[in-house]
Amino acid sequence: MSKERLVVIGNGMAGARFVDDLLGRGGGDRFDVVMFGDEPCGNYNRILLSSVLSRSHKPDDIFINPMSWYAARHITLHAGRRIERIDVRARQVVTADGLTEHYDKLIIATGSSPIIPPLANVRDEQGTFKHGVFVFRTLDDCERIMRAAAAARTAAVIGGGLLGLEAARGLLNWGLETHVIHLMPHLMEAQLDPGAGDVLRRQFEQMGLVTHLATRTTGILGNGHVAGLEFADGSRLNCDLVVIAAGIRPNATLAADAGLTVNRGIVVGDDLACRAGDVPVPDVFAVGECAEHRGRVYGLVAPLWEQTARLADRLSGRNPDAVYVGSSVSTKLKVMGVDLAVMGDKEPVGEDDEVVSYSEPSRGIYKKLIVRNGRLVGAIVLGDGAVVPSVLQTFASGLPLHDNRAEILFAPASTAPAMVAMRRRRLRTPRASAIATTYRRRRLSKRSWAALEASRRYATSHARQPGAAPAGPKWRPSSRSHARVSRKRSSLRISALSSRHWLRPRTPARPTPLQISRSTRSSASSATRMASTSKPTSSDLCAMGGKRSTNPIVSG
Protein backbone atom coordinates (compact mmCIF):
# COMPACT_ATOMS: atom_id res chain seq x y z
CA MET A 1 0.00 0.00 0.00
CA SER A 2 1.47 3.37 -0.97
CA LYS A 3 1.78 5.87 1.82
CA GLU A 4 0.03 9.22 2.01
CA ARG A 5 2.08 12.41 2.35
CA LEU A 6 1.58 14.26 5.62
CA VAL A 7 3.02 17.76 5.74
CA VAL A 8 3.53 19.65 9.02
CA ILE A 9 4.11 23.42 9.03
CA GLY A 10 5.96 24.32 12.22
CA ASN A 11 8.63 22.28 13.94
CA GLY A 12 7.95 23.60 17.44
CA MET A 13 6.52 22.01 20.57
CA ALA A 14 3.18 21.10 18.97
CA GLY A 15 4.36 20.15 15.46
CA ALA A 16 7.17 17.84 16.58
CA ARG A 17 5.11 16.41 19.41
CA PHE A 18 2.31 15.57 16.99
CA VAL A 19 4.71 13.68 14.72
CA ASP A 20 6.14 11.81 17.70
CA ASP A 21 2.60 10.90 18.85
CA LEU A 22 1.65 9.81 15.35
CA LEU A 23 4.68 7.57 14.86
CA GLY A 24 4.20 6.15 18.35
CA ARG A 25 0.74 5.00 17.27
CA GLY A 26 2.00 3.29 14.13
CA GLY A 27 1.31 6.25 11.84
CA GLY A 28 4.64 5.65 10.10
CA ASP A 29 2.98 2.79 8.20
CA ARG A 30 0.40 5.17 6.73
CA PHE A 31 2.33 8.36 6.10
CA ASP A 32 5.51 9.81 4.70
CA VAL A 33 6.13 12.78 6.97
CA VAL A 34 7.54 16.09 5.72
CA MET A 35 8.11 18.96 8.16
CA PHE A 36 8.85 22.65 7.59
CA GLY A 37 10.32 24.75 10.38
CA ASP A 38 11.21 28.41 10.28
CA GLU A 39 13.94 27.88 12.86
CA PRO A 40 17.21 26.38 11.59
CA CYS A 41 17.37 23.50 14.06
CA GLY A 42 15.55 20.52 15.51
CA ASN A 43 12.82 20.91 18.13
CA TYR A 44 13.75 22.22 21.57
CA ASN A 45 11.83 22.75 24.78
CA ARG A 46 10.75 26.37 24.52
CA ILE A 47 9.68 26.35 28.17
CA LEU A 48 13.30 25.98 29.18
CA LEU A 49 14.43 29.15 27.41
CA SER A 50 13.99 30.93 30.75
CA SER A 51 16.44 28.47 32.30
CA VAL A 52 18.91 29.07 29.47
CA LEU A 53 18.64 32.82 30.05
CA SER A 54 19.21 32.42 33.77
CA ARG A 55 22.13 30.09 32.98
CA SER A 56 20.81 27.02 34.76
CA HIS A 57 20.66 25.17 31.39
CA LYS A 58 22.92 25.29 28.35
CA PRO A 59 21.24 25.68 24.95
CA ASP A 60 22.27 22.13 23.95
CA ASP A 61 20.53 20.71 27.03
CA ILE A 62 17.06 21.74 25.95
CA PHE A 63 16.73 19.87 22.65
CA ILE A 64 13.92 17.31 22.62
CA ASN A 65 14.35 16.25 18.99
CA PRO A 66 17.82 16.89 17.58
CA MET A 67 18.40 16.50 13.81
CA SER A 68 19.35 12.83 14.24
CA TRP A 69 15.87 12.11 15.63
CA TYR A 70 14.26 13.04 12.29
CA ALA A 71 16.79 11.12 10.23
CA ALA A 72 16.34 7.98 12.33
CA ARG A 73 12.58 8.07 11.67
CA HIS A 74 12.81 8.87 7.96
CA ILE A 75 11.15 12.24 8.47
CA THR A 76 12.06 14.88 5.90
CA LEU A 77 12.77 18.05 7.85
CA HIS A 78 13.21 21.36 6.06
CA ALA A 79 14.81 23.29 8.93
CA GLY A 80 15.09 27.03 8.36
CA ARG A 81 12.51 26.98 5.57
CA ARG A 82 9.44 29.12 5.96
CA ILE A 83 6.10 28.30 4.30
CA GLU A 84 4.77 31.38 2.56
CA ARG A 85 1.55 30.03 1.04
CA ILE A 86 -0.96 27.22 1.36
CA ASP A 87 -3.02 26.26 -1.70
CA VAL A 88 -5.92 24.29 -0.28
CA ARG A 89 -7.45 23.47 -3.69
CA ALA A 90 -4.20 22.20 -5.18
CA ARG A 91 -3.28 20.56 -1.83
CA GLN A 92 0.18 22.04 -1.71
CA VAL A 93 2.37 24.36 0.32
CA VAL A 94 4.99 26.75 -1.05
CA THR A 95 8.14 27.92 0.74
CA ALA A 96 9.63 31.41 0.67
CA ASP A 97 12.38 30.16 -1.65
CA GLY A 98 9.90 28.61 -4.10
CA LEU A 99 9.86 24.92 -3.10
CA THR A 100 6.42 23.36 -3.61
CA GLU A 101 5.31 20.32 -1.63
CA HIS A 102 2.14 18.30 -2.17
CA TYR A 103 0.15 17.03 0.82
CA ASP A 104 -2.60 14.51 1.46
CA LYS A 105 -2.94 15.71 5.04
CA LEU A 106 -1.75 19.10 6.29
CA ILE A 107 -1.08 20.02 9.91
CA ILE A 108 -0.61 23.70 10.75
CA ALA A 109 1.39 24.20 13.96
CA THR A 110 2.86 27.65 13.47
CA GLY A 111 2.67 28.80 17.13
CA SER A 112 2.64 32.48 18.08
CA SER A 113 4.74 35.62 17.73
CA PRO A 114 5.44 38.30 20.33
CA ILE A 115 3.18 41.34 20.25
CA ILE A 116 5.11 44.58 19.78
CA PRO A 117 3.21 47.48 21.39
CA PRO A 118 3.18 50.79 19.54
CA LEU A 119 6.50 52.31 20.70
CA ALA A 120 8.16 55.29 19.08
CA ASN A 121 11.63 54.63 17.76
CA VAL A 122 11.59 50.87 18.40
CA ARG A 123 12.89 50.04 14.90
CA ASP A 124 15.57 51.61 12.73
CA GLU A 125 15.13 52.75 9.11
CA GLN A 126 15.55 49.17 7.82
CA GLY A 127 12.63 48.04 9.97
CA THR A 128 14.76 45.94 12.31
CA PHE A 129 14.79 46.45 16.06
CA LYS A 130 17.03 49.17 17.43
CA HIS A 131 20.26 47.70 18.86
CA GLY A 132 19.65 46.49 22.37
CA VAL A 133 15.91 45.76 21.86
CA PHE A 134 14.82 42.10 21.91
CA VAL A 135 11.84 39.79 22.07
CA PHE A 136 11.95 36.48 23.97
CA ARG A 137 10.49 33.65 21.93
CA THR A 138 13.20 31.56 20.29
CA LEU A 139 16.57 30.10 21.16
CA ASP A 140 18.08 32.63 18.80
CA ASP A 141 16.40 35.48 20.73
CA CYS A 142 17.68 34.01 23.97
CA GLU A 143 21.27 33.79 22.77
CA ARG A 144 21.19 37.37 21.48
CA ILE A 145 19.82 38.62 24.82
CA MET A 146 22.61 36.79 26.64
CA ARG A 147 25.29 38.32 24.43
CA ALA A 148 23.85 41.78 25.07
CA ALA A 149 23.46 41.14 28.81
CA ALA A 150 27.17 40.37 29.11
CA ALA A 151 27.94 43.98 28.14
CA ALA A 152 24.92 45.77 29.64
CA ARG A 153 24.37 47.45 33.00
CA THR A 154 20.65 48.19 33.19
CA ALA A 155 17.85 46.14 31.65
CA ALA A 156 14.17 46.93 31.25
CA VAL A 157 11.52 44.32 30.54
CA ILE A 158 8.30 45.65 29.06
CA GLY A 159 5.57 43.36 30.38
CA GLY A 160 4.99 41.94 33.86
CA GLY A 161 3.30 38.71 32.79
CA LEU A 162 4.63 35.18 33.15
CA LEU A 163 7.17 35.54 30.36
CA GLY A 164 8.30 39.05 31.33
CA LEU A 165 8.96 38.00 34.92
CA GLU A 166 10.91 34.94 33.83
CA ALA A 167 12.98 37.14 31.50
CA ALA A 168 13.55 39.66 34.29
CA ARG A 169 14.69 36.96 36.70
CA GLY A 170 17.11 35.71 34.08
CA LEU A 171 18.56 39.19 33.61
CA LEU A 172 18.95 39.64 37.36
CA ASN A 173 21.11 36.52 37.26
CA TRP A 174 23.43 38.37 34.89
CA GLY A 175 23.96 40.97 37.60
CA LEU A 176 22.02 43.70 35.77
CA GLU A 177 19.92 46.33 37.47
CA THR A 178 16.57 45.09 36.17
CA HIS A 179 13.28 46.95 35.84
CA VAL A 180 9.88 45.55 34.88
CA ILE A 181 7.46 47.98 33.32
CA HIS A 182 3.86 46.81 33.41
CA LEU A 183 0.79 48.51 31.99
CA MET A 184 -1.60 47.01 34.54
CA PRO A 185 -1.83 47.82 38.28
CA HIS A 186 -0.58 44.38 39.35
CA LEU A 187 1.73 41.70 38.00
CA MET A 188 0.48 38.69 36.02
CA GLU A 189 -3.06 40.06 35.93
CA ALA A 190 -4.13 37.33 33.51
CA GLN A 191 -3.50 34.66 36.15
CA LEU A 192 -3.52 36.47 39.50
CA ASP A 193 -5.94 38.60 41.49
CA PRO A 194 -4.65 41.90 42.93
CA GLY A 195 -3.81 40.36 46.32
CA ALA A 196 -1.62 37.65 44.83
CA GLY A 197 -0.11 40.15 42.38
CA ASP A 198 0.90 42.34 45.28
CA VAL A 199 2.53 39.51 47.24
CA LEU A 200 4.37 38.44 44.10
CA ARG A 201 5.61 41.99 43.51
CA ARG A 202 7.08 42.10 47.03
CA GLN A 203 8.88 38.83 46.40
CA PHE A 204 10.40 40.07 43.17
CA GLU A 205 11.38 43.36 44.76
CA GLN A 206 13.12 41.46 47.55
CA MET A 207 15.15 39.74 44.83
CA GLY A 208 16.25 43.13 43.57
CA LEU A 209 13.81 43.74 40.75
CA VAL A 210 12.39 47.24 40.34
CA THR A 211 8.73 47.24 39.27
CA HIS A 212 6.87 50.08 37.59
CA LEU A 213 3.16 49.25 37.65
CA ALA A 214 0.35 51.02 35.79
CA THR A 215 3.02 52.49 33.56
CA ARG A 216 2.73 52.81 29.81
CA THR A 217 5.91 52.85 27.78
CA THR A 218 5.60 55.16 24.81
CA GLY A 219 9.00 55.10 23.18
CA ILE A 220 12.59 53.92 23.05
CA LEU A 221 15.34 56.50 23.55
CA GLY A 222 18.77 56.58 21.92
CA ASN A 223 20.33 56.88 18.49
CA GLY A 224 21.60 53.64 17.04
CA HIS A 225 21.62 51.82 20.39
CA VAL A 226 18.90 51.90 23.04
CA ALA A 227 19.62 54.43 25.79
CA GLY A 228 16.37 54.35 27.72
CA LEU A 229 12.60 54.27 27.79
CA GLU A 230 10.05 57.04 27.80
CA PHE A 231 6.73 56.72 29.61
CA ALA A 232 3.26 58.21 29.06
CA ASP A 233 3.64 60.59 32.04
CA GLY A 234 6.78 62.05 30.45
CA SER A 235 9.21 60.34 32.83
CA ARG A 236 12.23 58.36 31.56
CA LEU A 237 14.35 55.42 32.56
CA ASN A 238 17.95 55.00 31.47
CA CYS A 239 18.76 51.47 30.30
CA ASP A 240 20.89 49.76 27.68
CA LEU A 241 18.93 46.55 27.15
CA VAL A 242 15.18 46.18 26.53
CA VAL A 243 13.20 42.95 26.34
CA ILE A 244 9.64 43.21 25.04
CA ALA A 245 7.37 40.58 26.59
CA ALA A 246 3.99 42.19 26.12
CA GLY A 247 1.98 39.15 25.04
CA ILE A 248 1.73 36.85 22.06
CA ARG A 249 -0.42 36.61 18.94
CA PRO A 250 -1.19 33.33 17.09
CA ASN A 251 0.57 32.97 13.72
CA ALA A 252 -2.60 32.65 11.65
CA THR A 253 -2.00 34.88 8.62
CA LEU A 254 -0.91 31.94 6.48
CA ALA A 255 -4.21 30.18 7.19
CA ALA A 256 -6.29 33.32 6.72
CA ASP A 257 -4.66 33.94 3.32
CA ALA A 258 -5.56 30.36 2.34
CA GLY A 259 -9.24 31.06 3.06
CA LEU A 260 -9.41 29.20 6.38
CA THR A 261 -11.52 30.70 9.17
CA VAL A 262 -9.47 32.75 11.61
CA ASN A 263 -10.69 34.66 14.66
CA ARG A 264 -7.98 35.15 17.25
CA GLY A 265 -6.42 31.89 16.07
CA ILE A 266 -7.11 29.35 13.33
CA VAL A 267 -10.59 28.03 14.13
CA VAL A 268 -10.79 24.25 14.61
CA GLY A 269 -13.61 21.94 15.67
CA ASP A 270 -13.47 19.07 18.15
CA ASP A 271 -11.96 17.01 15.32
CA LEU A 272 -9.16 19.64 15.16
CA ALA A 273 -9.95 20.18 11.47
CA CYS A 274 -9.81 23.75 10.14
CA ARG A 275 -12.93 25.46 8.86
CA ALA A 276 -13.84 27.54 5.82
CA GLY A 277 -16.79 29.48 7.15
CA ASP A 278 -18.40 26.81 9.32
CA VAL A 279 -17.55 23.94 6.99
CA PRO A 280 -14.69 21.57 7.88
CA VAL A 281 -11.88 21.66 5.34
CA PRO A 282 -10.96 18.09 4.42
CA ASP A 283 -7.52 16.99 5.56
CA VAL A 284 -6.33 20.35 6.96
CA PHE A 285 -5.81 20.52 10.73
CA ALA A 286 -4.31 22.95 13.24
CA VAL A 287 -2.80 22.30 16.69
CA GLY A 288 -0.91 24.34 19.27
CA GLU A 289 -0.87 28.04 20.03
CA CYS A 290 -2.00 28.95 16.52
CA ALA A 291 -5.31 27.06 16.94
CA GLU A 292 -8.54 28.40 18.40
CA HIS A 293 -10.85 25.75 19.81
CA ARG A 294 -14.31 26.60 21.17
CA GLY A 295 -13.25 30.23 21.35
CA ARG A 296 -10.08 29.55 23.33
CA VAL A 297 -6.47 29.94 22.29
CA TYR A 298 -4.08 28.21 24.68
CA GLY A 299 -0.66 29.65 25.46
CA LEU A 300 0.60 26.67 27.44
CA VAL A 301 2.08 23.33 26.53
CA ALA A 302 -0.25 20.93 28.36
CA PRO A 303 -3.39 21.69 26.29
CA LEU A 304 -1.55 21.52 23.02
CA TRP A 305 -0.15 18.11 23.94
CA GLU A 306 -3.72 16.95 24.54
CA GLN A 307 -4.56 18.25 21.08
CA THR A 308 -1.65 16.45 19.40
CA ALA A 309 -2.55 13.17 21.13
CA ARG A 310 -6.17 13.32 19.96
CA LEU A 311 -5.18 14.23 16.41
CA ALA A 312 -2.61 11.42 16.34
CA ASP A 313 -5.33 9.02 17.56
CA ARG A 314 -7.53 10.06 14.63
CA LEU A 315 -4.96 10.11 11.85
CA SER A 316 -3.07 6.98 12.86
CA GLY A 317 -6.33 5.07 12.80
CA ARG A 318 -6.00 4.04 16.43
CA ASN A 319 -9.18 5.92 17.26
CA PRO A 320 -10.57 7.67 14.16
CA ASP A 321 -13.41 9.17 16.24
CA ALA A 322 -11.20 10.74 18.92
CA VAL A 323 -12.21 14.31 19.77
CA TYR A 324 -10.59 17.12 21.67
CA VAL A 325 -13.07 18.84 23.97
CA GLY A 326 -10.84 21.48 25.57
CA SER A 327 -8.46 21.61 28.52
CA SER A 328 -8.48 22.98 32.03
CA VAL A 329 -5.21 24.76 32.45
CA SER A 330 -2.81 25.10 35.30
CA THR A 331 0.53 26.82 35.19
CA LYS A 332 3.59 27.35 37.34
CA LEU A 333 6.06 30.18 37.37
CA LYS A 334 9.51 28.67 36.91
CA VAL A 335 11.40 31.41 38.67
CA MET A 336 13.97 30.29 41.19
CA GLY A 337 12.87 31.30 44.67
CA VAL A 338 9.21 31.85 43.74
CA ASP A 339 6.71 29.04 44.15
CA LEU A 340 3.61 29.95 42.20
CA ALA A 341 0.96 27.66 40.78
CA VAL A 342 -2.26 28.90 39.21
CA MET A 343 -5.18 26.94 37.84
CA GLY A 344 -8.69 27.57 36.55
CA ASP A 345 -10.67 30.63 37.64
CA LYS A 346 -8.93 33.34 39.62
CA GLU A 347 -12.15 35.03 40.74
CA PRO A 348 -15.64 33.74 41.62
CA VAL A 349 -18.09 33.82 38.74
CA GLY A 350 -21.49 32.97 40.20
CA GLU A 351 -23.15 34.27 43.36
CA ASP A 352 -22.80 30.85 44.97
CA ASP A 353 -19.11 30.40 44.31
CA GLU A 354 -17.13 30.01 47.51
CA VAL A 355 -13.80 31.72 48.05
CA VAL A 356 -11.41 30.33 50.64
CA SER A 357 -8.27 32.38 51.00
CA TYR A 358 -5.25 32.83 53.21
CA SER A 359 -2.60 35.52 52.96
CA GLU A 360 0.65 36.11 54.78
CA PRO A 361 2.49 38.80 52.80
CA SER A 362 5.52 38.99 55.09
CA ARG A 363 6.38 35.39 54.18
CA GLY A 364 5.29 35.71 50.56
CA ILE A 365 2.32 33.40 51.05
CA TYR A 366 -1.02 33.81 49.32
CA LYS A 367 -3.46 30.98 48.74
CA LYS A 368 -6.92 31.09 47.31
CA LEU A 369 -9.43 28.47 46.28
CA ILE A 370 -12.54 29.01 44.18
CA VAL A 371 -15.12 26.33 44.90
CA ARG A 372 -18.21 25.80 42.77
CA ASN A 373 -20.85 23.23 43.59
CA GLY A 374 -18.44 21.69 46.08
CA ARG A 375 -15.67 21.28 43.50
CA LEU A 376 -12.40 23.13 43.05
CA VAL A 377 -12.62 25.27 39.89
CA GLY A 378 -9.70 27.59 40.50
CA ALA A 379 -6.73 28.13 42.77
CA ILE A 380 -3.76 30.41 43.32
CA VAL A 381 -0.97 29.01 45.48
CA LEU A 382 1.94 31.37 46.04
CA GLY A 383 4.80 30.68 48.41
CA ASP A 384 3.81 27.18 49.55
CA GLY A 385 5.07 24.55 47.12
CA ALA A 386 4.24 21.73 49.52
CA VAL A 387 0.50 21.98 48.92
CA VAL A 388 0.73 22.41 45.14
CA PRO A 389 0.57 18.70 44.18
CA SER A 390 -2.54 18.05 46.23
CA VAL A 391 -4.24 21.23 44.99
CA LEU A 392 -3.37 20.34 41.39
CA GLN A 393 -4.62 16.82 41.85
CA THR A 394 -7.86 17.99 43.41
CA PHE A 395 -8.38 20.48 40.58
CA ALA A 396 -7.64 17.93 37.85
CA SER A 397 -9.80 15.19 39.38
CA GLY A 398 -12.89 17.41 39.61
CA LEU A 399 -14.04 15.33 42.58
CA PRO A 400 -16.13 16.88 45.37
CA LEU A 401 -14.08 18.51 48.10
CA HIS A 402 -13.99 17.55 51.73
CA ASP A 403 -16.13 19.83 53.90
CA ASN A 404 -13.00 21.09 55.56
CA ARG A 405 -11.46 23.11 52.75
CA ALA A 406 -8.39 23.78 54.88
CA GLU A 407 -7.36 20.21 54.21
CA ILE A 408 -6.16 21.19 50.76
CA LEU A 409 -5.20 24.76 51.58
CA PHE A 410 -2.55 23.69 54.05
CA ALA A 411 0.18 21.08 53.79
CA PRO A 412 -0.53 17.84 55.60
CA ALA A 413 0.93 18.21 59.04
CA SER A 414 3.04 15.09 58.61
CA THR A 415 5.21 16.87 56.04
CA ALA A 416 6.21 19.52 58.57
CA PRO A 417 9.37 18.65 60.45
CA ALA A 418 8.11 20.40 63.56
CA MET A 419 5.00 18.30 63.48
CA VAL A 420 6.93 15.09 63.16
CA ALA A 421 9.00 16.05 66.18
CA MET A 422 5.88 17.02 68.08
CA ARG A 423 4.11 13.77 67.30
CA ARG A 424 7.15 11.74 68.28
CA ARG A 425 7.07 13.36 71.67
CA ARG A 426 3.42 12.56 72.08
CA LEU A 427 3.33 9.09 70.61
CA ARG A 428 6.14 7.33 72.29
CA THR A 429 4.76 3.79 72.33
CA PRO A 430 4.15 1.63 69.25
CA ARG A 431 0.56 1.13 70.38
CA ALA A 432 -0.04 4.88 70.53
CA SER A 433 1.43 5.22 67.03
CA ALA A 434 -0.81 2.46 65.72
CA ILE A 435 -3.89 4.12 67.19
CA ALA A 436 -2.98 7.45 65.64
CA THR A 437 -2.41 5.84 62.25
CA THR A 438 -5.80 4.13 62.38
CA TYR A 439 -7.49 7.39 63.24
CA ARG A 440 -5.69 9.14 60.43
CA ARG A 441 -6.58 6.50 57.88
CA ARG A 442 -10.21 6.56 58.95
CA ARG A 443 -10.35 10.29 58.60
CA LEU A 444 -8.61 10.58 55.30
CA SER A 445 -10.57 9.59 52.28
CA LYS A 446 -8.71 7.62 49.63
CA ARG A 447 -8.36 10.80 47.60
CA SER A 448 -6.86 12.89 50.38
CA TRP A 449 -4.51 10.03 51.20
CA ALA A 450 -3.30 10.02 47.59
CA ALA A 451 -2.95 13.81 47.75
CA LEU A 452 -0.86 13.48 50.89
CA GLU A 453 1.40 10.95 49.21
CA ALA A 454 1.73 13.21 46.16
CA SER A 455 2.61 16.09 48.43
CA ARG A 456 5.30 14.02 50.14
CA ARG A 457 6.76 12.99 46.80
CA TYR A 458 6.79 16.60 45.66
CA ALA A 459 8.55 17.77 48.80
CA THR A 460 11.16 15.02 48.39
CA SER A 461 11.77 15.74 44.72
CA HIS A 462 12.14 19.45 45.49
CA ALA A 463 14.67 18.65 48.14
CA ARG A 464 16.77 16.89 45.50
CA GLN A 465 16.77 19.65 42.93
CA PRO A 466 19.62 22.10 43.28
CA GLY A 467 18.37 25.64 43.57
CA ALA A 468 14.75 24.52 43.87
CA ALA A 469 12.40 25.66 46.57
CA PRO A 470 13.08 24.04 49.91
CA ALA A 471 11.20 20.87 50.64
CA GLY A 472 7.92 21.54 52.35
CA PRO A 473 7.11 24.51 54.50
CA LYS A 474 9.88 26.35 56.24
CA TRP A 475 9.32 24.85 59.63
CA ARG A 476 12.24 24.32 61.93
CA PRO A 477 12.20 21.41 64.35
CA SER A 478 12.29 22.78 67.83
CA SER A 479 13.11 21.39 71.22
CA ARG A 480 10.77 23.84 72.86
CA SER A 481 7.20 22.90 73.59
CA HIS A 482 4.92 23.25 70.60
CA ALA A 483 2.73 25.69 72.51
CA ARG A 484 5.55 28.14 73.06
CA VAL A 485 6.85 27.77 69.54
CA SER A 486 3.45 28.40 68.06
CA ARG A 487 3.28 31.72 69.81
CA LYS A 488 6.25 32.81 67.71
CA ARG A 489 5.29 31.67 64.27
CA SER A 490 1.94 31.65 62.62
CA SER A 491 2.96 28.71 60.41
CA LEU A 492 3.29 26.61 63.51
CA ARG A 493 -0.11 27.64 64.67
CA ILE A 494 -1.47 26.19 61.49
CA SER A 495 0.44 22.96 61.95
CA ALA A 496 -0.78 22.68 65.49
CA LEU A 497 -4.31 23.18 64.32
CA SER A 498 -3.95 20.43 61.75
CA SER A 499 -2.39 18.11 64.26
CA ARG A 500 -5.23 18.48 66.67
CA HIS A 501 -7.58 17.85 63.85
CA TRP A 502 -5.78 14.71 62.75
CA LEU A 503 -4.96 13.09 66.00
CA ARG A 504 -8.26 13.64 67.74
CA PRO A 505 -10.71 13.54 64.88
CA ARG A 506 -13.75 12.67 66.92
CA THR A 507 -13.48 15.66 69.24
CA PRO A 508 -15.92 18.31 68.04
CA ALA A 509 -13.89 21.20 66.66
CA ARG A 510 -13.73 24.23 68.88
CA PRO A 511 -13.59 27.68 67.33
CA THR A 512 -10.01 28.81 66.97
CA PRO A 513 -8.48 32.09 65.96
CA LEU A 514 -7.39 30.57 62.69
CA GLN A 515 -10.64 28.96 61.76
CA ILE A 516 -10.85 28.87 57.98
CA SER A 517 -14.09 30.35 56.87
CA ARG A 518 -15.87 29.97 53.60
CA SER A 519 -17.67 32.80 52.01
CA THR A 520 -19.31 33.76 48.82
CA ARG A 521 -17.59 36.34 46.68
CA SER A 522 -15.05 37.26 49.32
CA SER A 523 -11.50 38.19 48.61
CA ALA A 524 -8.36 37.92 50.65
CA SER A 525 -7.17 40.82 52.65
CA SER A 526 -3.53 41.03 51.81
CA ALA A 527 -2.74 42.61 55.14
CA THR A 528 -4.13 39.87 57.33
CA ARG A 529 -2.83 36.49 58.21
CA MET A 530 -6.23 34.91 58.52
CA ALA A 531 -8.73 33.39 56.23
CA SER A 532 -11.01 35.96 54.71
CA THR A 533 -14.75 36.14 54.85
CA SER A 534 -17.25 38.73 53.82
CA LYS A 535 -19.43 38.03 56.86
CA PRO A 536 -17.14 37.32 59.76
CA THR A 537 -18.26 34.88 62.40
CA SER A 538 -17.57 35.45 66.04
CA SER A 539 -14.46 33.31 65.87
CA ASP A 540 -13.18 35.32 62.94
CA LEU A 541 -13.75 38.53 64.83
CA CYS A 542 -11.67 37.16 67.64
CA ALA A 543 -8.78 36.69 65.22
CA MET A 544 -9.29 40.07 63.59
CA GLY A 545 -9.13 41.80 66.92
CA GLY A 546 -5.85 40.08 67.70
CA LYS A 547 -7.31 38.52 70.85
CA ARG A 548 -5.40 35.66 72.45
CA SER A 549 -7.21 32.37 72.30
CA THR A 550 -7.70 30.20 75.32
CA ASN A 551 -6.96 27.15 73.20
CA PRO A 552 -3.55 26.03 74.48
CA ILE A 553 -2.59 24.20 71.33
CA VAL A 554 -3.29 27.06 69.05
CA SER A 555 -2.08 30.11 70.76
CA GLY A 556 0.01 28.91 73.65
Ligand X SMILES: Cc1cc2nc3c(=O)[nH]c(=O)nc-3n(C[C@H](O)[C@H](O)[C@H](O)COP(=O)(O)OP(=O)(O)OC[C@H]3O[C@@H](n4cnc5c(N)ncnc54)[C@H](O)[C@@H]3O)c2cc1C
Binding-site ranges for ligand X (CB under 6 A): 9-15, 36-39, 46-47, 49-50, 82-83, 109-111, 136-137, 163, 166, 251, 254, 288-290, 299-302, 304, 331, 334
Quote the CA–CA distance of 510 and 513 in Å, as a whole number: 10
Q: How far is the CB of 83 from ligand X (least distance, A)?
A: 4
Q: Which is nearer to ligand X, 331 or 525 (CB)?
A: 331
Q: Which is nearer to ligand X, 107 or 459 (CB)?
A: 107
Give strand pairing partners of 520.
354
Residue positions counted in the chain: 556
Q: What is the DSSP string of 352-408?
A: T-EEEEEEEGGGTEEEEEEEETTEEEEEEEES-GGGHHHHHHHHHH-PBPPS-THHH
Q: Which is nearer to ligand X, 10 or 513 (CB)?
A: 10
Sign of the Cα torsion 533, 450, 327, 39 reads positive
Q: How far is the CB of 84 from ligand X (least distance, A)?
A: 7
Q: How far is the CB of 30 from ligand X (least distance, A)?
A: 22
Quote the CA–CA distance of 518 and 293 in Å, as a whole number: 34
Q: How far is the CB of 307 from ligand X (least distance, A)?
A: 9
Q: Which is nearer to ligand X, 237 or 281 (CB)?
A: 281
Quote the CA–CA distance of 112 and 110 in Å, as a whole number: 7
Cβ distance 144 to 156 under 8 Å? Answer: no
Quote the CA–CA distance of 396 and 419 in Å, as a whole number: 29
Please report which helix (H) or strand (E) contains residue 430, including its range.
helix 430-443
Please report which helix (H) or strand (E) contains residue 83, including its range.
strand 83-87
Quote the CA–CA distance of 406 and 373 in Å, as a whole number: 17
Q: Tell me which residue has its CB nearest to ligand X.
A: 12
Q: How far is the CB of 493 from ligand X (least distance, A)?
A: 34
Q: Which is nearer to ligand X, 42 or 378 (CB)?
A: 42
Quote the CA–CA distance of 424 and 335 in Å, as a whole number: 36
Q: Which is nearer to ligand X, 176 or 243 (CB)?
A: 243
Q: How far is the CB of 364 from ligand X (least distance, A)?
A: 20
Q: How far is the CB of 23 from ligand X (least distance, A)?
A: 17
Q: Which is nearer to ligand X, 180 or 497 (CB)?
A: 180
> In terms of Cα–Cα distance, which of 439, 434, 547, 428 is closest to 499?
439
